[in-house]
Structure formats: structure tokens, C-alpha cells
Amino acid sequence: MSKNLRVLYHDNCFDGLASAAVFSRFYSAVVAPGAEIEYEGLAHKAGQLINENLFGPDNNVIVDFKYSSSEKLTWWFDHHESAFLSEADEAHFRRDVSGRKFYDPDSRSCTKFIATVAEKTFGFAAADLQELIYWADLIDGAVFPSAQAAVELKEPAMRLMLEVETTRDRRLLHKIIGLMQRSPLDAVLNEPEVKSTFEAMYENHIKSIDVMRERAKCTKGVIEFDISDKNLDGYNKFIPYYLFPDSIYCVGVSRSTSRAKVSVGSNPWSSREKKHNLARLCEKYGGGGHAVVAAISFKPEDLESARTAAREIAQELQTEW
């Protein structure tokens, strides 16, 4: 079999792109030097199944996304609590003896998980990737010093986060993955196409703060908002906590051409104990994620179901107050 590779990664996610970049460096250095590598983004949507047609003819890896029991899957890395669509998929993973499929729900980011496995199991390390690994771990773990830092986007990595989460240009995302493999993050951001795209998106980011200020409300520690009519599917998810610093949780509804989405999160800067596992809450509606941040995807025309789920989840979270 050819050693060429298709990387299926979590689309519009900084950790997803960084995972793709780190795995690509590892694969090119250790597994198959000179291999051709191509990329395919995976987005959560109603039904969740990964279409067999997305896999390439040779080797395939999924990073930072749900497991697939497809025989075409060669490598897999994930860290989400809701990593398996079914008990059968989990059993399939547990039976795997290839030594190429890895899962750790305790890892804060998939990027750092891949880097750790690559070093400990395969002897691969790249000092020039440490900046990318650091920021992917910080961003996916939402361990910023303040909501202001998460929203005001002073650092190059934070600005790239905005662009990665907002753009729908797959070609540009794949270009960024390539740049991440070899360049420091300020150089990635200052690449002419990346820079011009960011500048346009930053203007919309500032406007989205005003939209959120108008739409969001906070009751019993739970922020609720509906921006399904605003085409803001890629909004900065920390804006609600920036506006309501005393909140505990946030439940929002948005919509794009591919899905109606319920986003459920917990305020990283709240000192109050959080008693709910958000992944488990969202799994009841076919979604999932992490204990502290999760989501549910519905078909775009099924907006009312998304709104109903959001309201029910918000009501359950408000019982903590």
C-alpha cells in the first residue's frame, strides 16, 4: 500500500488544525518521509456519521474528532469524552491491536496528546512545534488569564483562532495547516492572505460583541442567547463570559447553512463549583464534547428542535443557582 496520507481533522477548530499539523510533521518524519499528505475537514452535524467517501485510497488518520470503525482508518487520536457514536464503535476501538489508535479524554488538547504519544511511543519530537502545542493546549483548555484576554485577541495565536473558527474557505484552512508545520505563529498570521482575511474578520468580531450584548441574557447564572438569524456560527465563544463575568454556564443557539447548533459551555473564570457534565447533557440530544464545553448539531431546518433543547438544558443548569 502507498504511504500517502489523508488527514481528517476537526474543522474550524484551532486544536483541530494544530493536531493536523503536528501529526503531519510526525508522519513525514517517522512513518513515511516524502509521502503526499492531503486534508479533509470534519464538522459536527446531525447524524454525525463520517461518510466512507471522505477517506482516501491509502492511509487515513482522524485527529480531534469522533472514532470511525471503517476499515479505511489507519490512525486515530482524540480526547473528547463523547468520542464514540455507539457502544459498537467503542468495542471496535478496544479490540484494535494496530498500535496506531489512541484515546485520552483526560488530555486538555488533542495537539498535545499527539505530541506526547509521538515522543513517548515513536521517539519523535520537534522543538519548533512547541509554540503551536502550547497555544493549542491553552486555547482548547480555555485557560486564559481572563475573559478580556480571550476576547481582545492580542496574541498571534488568538488572532489565528478567530480566523480558523470563522472562515469557511477550506483551501485557506489547509494552507494554514501547512504553515503551522514550519513557521512560528506570528509568521503564519503575517502571511499576506492570512493577514488580509484576519483583518476583515476582526471587524466582524467587534460587531459580534455588540450583537451578543443585545441578544444575551443571564438568569440564575446561565447565559442564554439566540443568534440563529445573524450568520455568526463562528463567533468567539468567550464573548458571553466577557459580558457576564458572574455567570456559570452559557447556552446559545446559532445556525449556518450546514446545521443549527446548540453550544453549551461553562465559564472558565467562575470560581463556583460546576456540578454538571456538559458532554453528558448534550449526549441526551445526540451531541457531546467535554465535561466543560459541549454542543449539539441539528439539521439547519430543524431550528425549533435546537431552541427546545437549548431551553431545556438552560433550565436544568439553572437548578445549580
Cα gap 10→169, rounded to integer Å: 14
Contact at 8 Å (CB) between 81 and 106? no
Kindly list the domain boundaries of the chain, sorted by start residue. 5-190, 216-318
* Chain centroid, CA 244 distance in Å: 23
Look at residue 82 in the predicted model and tell me its pLDDT.
Answer: 87
Contact at 8 Å (CB) between 82 and 292? no
Q: How confident is the model at residue 256 (pLDDT cuts 50, 70, 90)?
A: confident
* CA within 13 Å, CB half, 215: 21
Q: Which fold has domain 5-190?
A: inorganic pyrophosphatase (n-terminal core) (3.90.1640)
Class of the CATH-defined domain 216-318 = alpha beta
- Indicate the helix (H) or strand (E) that contains 302: none
DSSP string, 252-295: EEEE-SS-EEEEEEE-TT--S-----HHHHHHTTT-EE-SSEEE
The percentage of the chain sitting over the pLDDT mark of 70, rounded to a whole number, equals: 98
130-141 and 110-122 are packed helices; what angle lies between their axes, rounded to 10 degrees? Answer: 140
Q: How confident is the model at residue 43 (pLDDT cuts 50, 70, 90)?
A: confident
Cα gap 203→40, rounded to integer Å: 28
User: 88-137 pLDDT, tens per residue?
Assistant: 999 999 999 999 999 999 999 999 999 999 999 999 999 999 999 999 99
Provide the whole-model pTM: 0.84
Cell of 49: 456519521
Look over the chain and give the mean of its residue pLDDT values, rounded to a whole number: 94
* Chain centroid, CA 272 distance in Å: 25
